[in-house]
Structure 1
């Protein structure tokens, strides 16, 4: 840790902006209060909206937090904006540009307090976010990850990310989060607060060819960590066209399906008998492409499910079953993505007494 801090201090000394403007960055500053929550706010070229995000954190009705402003080598005026705030709860950390995962993991190493709260540079905390999440954690002591509902603000009202946010907001309990984990990330990253001890026990964010937040949630669920959400809206989530998750390959649909397959295999190894057959609901080219990563694992996949009787194929594996003739005891993975199709499949599961997480998962 000492070597790590020395490297940071050397970087501060070499930073031209710091030299010119006498920017004082005291990474070892001792707080004058008990730090319970460390808010991690990484930023890169976020000058257009960084001030709004910082001020929303400083307006919290809870005082026992520190705000780590983590500059990921910005080349715009972001560092100058961050340096204007003299609040003693702020620790400004200037880093070379290495990307979001490296920046977040640096923040985790430096954070004080037992809770970590995430925040993005283009979003806005509501004034009672930290206090409500901490109160929820105290009321639910087994819960180590606490999210909240979020308000969508963007150009896709009624579609796209807005529908995604509406879906996330419906998942409040640990069971709801876990049963829907393979559809998509069940929590908005900047809405989450989690115990710092999880990082010490299970490791920090993983830098790989996939979404770092979703991987973290799946890893923690795989280890039995309890999740929950405050059933209140406590964050405004701004959806910008140039957001990293819209333009980087690590957040592509293919990367998500690879990750889902990896963690479903881990789940199946713990929860399914080796001889329990697995069927994939859907039989078109799109479904076969989405489910292709599953075939990399030694899973007992025996075939696909189709609603069209004329395409049933039972002569060779993988078989194609009509949905009314699914073998007894089969575990089903639905890769049907359209809303009407999913609703019809959900109704079929209800009608036949099948349970999420016991008899099936939706995978998209």
Structure 2
């Protein structure tokens, strides 16, 4: 029923726990495609994977030259025999019912293309408060509507938590290599294609945060990469939902916010004005556009607003002001940071 695609590189220390969590699943009809992405740890990673493959025929050990996560994922999906593809990383741990509950949901909902789940933070909460806040935000987005409206802030789907139908990569394209986070680009592209995504309310994965995690050390995952890759998809989405397209008003007039919002300009979006609360900016012209006070925002009958302020809690504060003025999420405004 399920093919679990698990890339690993120099992961001998964490792999046993990850693989044992899969071996202990309540649903037994699965295979694990463990792709050794050119580990150079003197055979340690390969030895762990080979031992599990000898012990349990459901664990398949694939060895490849080092090509990165996209190449490893592509190889694993190509070798998969399951009806559903589940993702897993070598440093994470599944709860026992993860595969059962996600497969059951896909079986029950033919219209659903991808299902995720809530995750538990598997790191040092004090040292990684930003990461913990991201997980809390992710866990709050469960419905397809939540995910559609949240996707342009950041990725609402922890990559190793997802399960999707095997035909989706062939139908809409699989992981792509580039100067962007491969999972986020995939979710954006599939959502644009109409794939329905949902998150189970159960916590079914412990998502760990080691110092060497790609999202911490690889430039493809820095904030600029997220804003660059989502700009084109956001512009296409705005063309469908914004009654004033291509015109928008951007909440936030700071230098970083402006630079991020201006990624939309090459895609044909026109920024008419900025909204801010900084008295040093309000009433002035910044980057050729007027700065209005947030509380003086025109009504939803005259403009579409993109909150682009990324500081924690700012989007929620802006949303409260907008909704008090009659703006509706997804119809009159859409957070983009």
Quickly name the TM-score band, shorter chain normalised.
over 0.9
DSSP-derived class of the 1:120 partner: coil
Aligned-residue offset at 1:316: 9.2
CA contact under 8 A between 2:153 and 2:335: conserved in structure 1? yes
Aligned partners of 1:48, 1:240: CA distance in 2, in Å? 12
Tell me which residue corresponds to 2:196.
226
Aligned to 1:134: 103
Once the 2 structures are TM-superposed, how far is the Cα of residue 363 of structure 1 from its aligned partner?
1.5
In the alignment, the residues of structure 2 paired with residue 344 and residue 172 of structure 1 have an alpha-carbon distance, to the nearest angstrom, of: 21
2:113 maps to 144
How far has the Cα of 1:194 moved from its partner? 0.3
Give the match's secondary structure for 2:180: coil
Distance 1:313 1:277 in 2: 20
Which consecutive unaligned segments of at least 5 residues does structure 1 have?
A: 1-35
Match among 314, 317, 322 for residue 341 of structure 1: 314
1:82 aligns with 2:31: no
Cα distance, 1:285 vs structure 2: 1.4
Matches within 5 A, 1:35-54: 36-54=1-19
Cα distance in 1, alignment partners of residues 316 and 161 from structure 2: 28
Secondary structure at the aligned position of 2:191 is classed as helix
Alpha-carbon separation, structure 2, partners of 1:153 and 1:106 = 28
Counterpart residue number, 2:82 = 113
The residue correspondences of 1:323-338 to structure 2 (distance < 5 A) are 323-328=294-299, 329-338=302-311
Shift of 1:274: 5.8
Q: 1:313 aligns with which of 284, 293, 309?
A: 284
Could you tell me the TM-score, scaled by structure 2's length? 0.93
Larger radius of gyration: 1
Distance 2:169 2:153 in 1: 24
Distance verdict in 2 for CA 1:52–1:315, change over 3 Å: closer
Q: Report the Cα offset of residue 357 of structure 1.
A: 1.4
Aligned residues: 329
Q: In the alignment, which residue of structure 1 is the partner of 2:38?
A: 73
Equivalent in 199, 218, 221 of residue 248 of structure 1? 218
Rounded Cα–Cα distance in structure 2 between residues aligned with 1:147 and 1:194: 9
Cα distance in 1 for residues equivalent to 2:287 and 2:8 = 54
CA shift, 1:299, in A, is: 0.9
Match of 1:216 in 2: 186
Give me the whole-angstrom Cα distance separating, in 1, the residues matched to 2:238 and 2:313.
Answer: 28
TM-aligned CA distance change 1:214 to 1:116, over 3 Å: same
Q: Distance in 1 between matches of 2:23 and 2:85?
A: 16
The offset of 1:199, in angstroms, is 0.6
Q: Does 1:362 align with 2:331?
A: no
Contact 2:239 2:246 in 1 (8 A): no
Q: Distance in 2 between matches of 1:294 and 1:276?
A: 10
Contact in 1 for aligned 2:245/2:269 (Cα 8 Å): no
Query: Structure 2 CA distance, aligned partners of 1:273 and 1:359?
Result: 9
Q: CA deviation at 1:272?
A: 2.7
Moved more, 338-347 or 249-258: 338-347
- TM normalised by structure 1 equals 0.86
Q: Secondary structure at the match of 2:334?
A: strand
Shift of 1:295: 2.1
Correspondence list, 1:173-322, <5 A: 173-273=143-243, 275=245, 277-308=247-278, 311-313=282-284, 317-322=288-293
Distance 1:359 1:165, change over 3 A: same
Which stretch of the first structure deviates more once superposed, 124-133 or 259-268?
259-268
Per-residue Cα deviation, 1:206-239 (whole angstroms, up to 9, x for no partner) = 1010000000001011111101111000000111
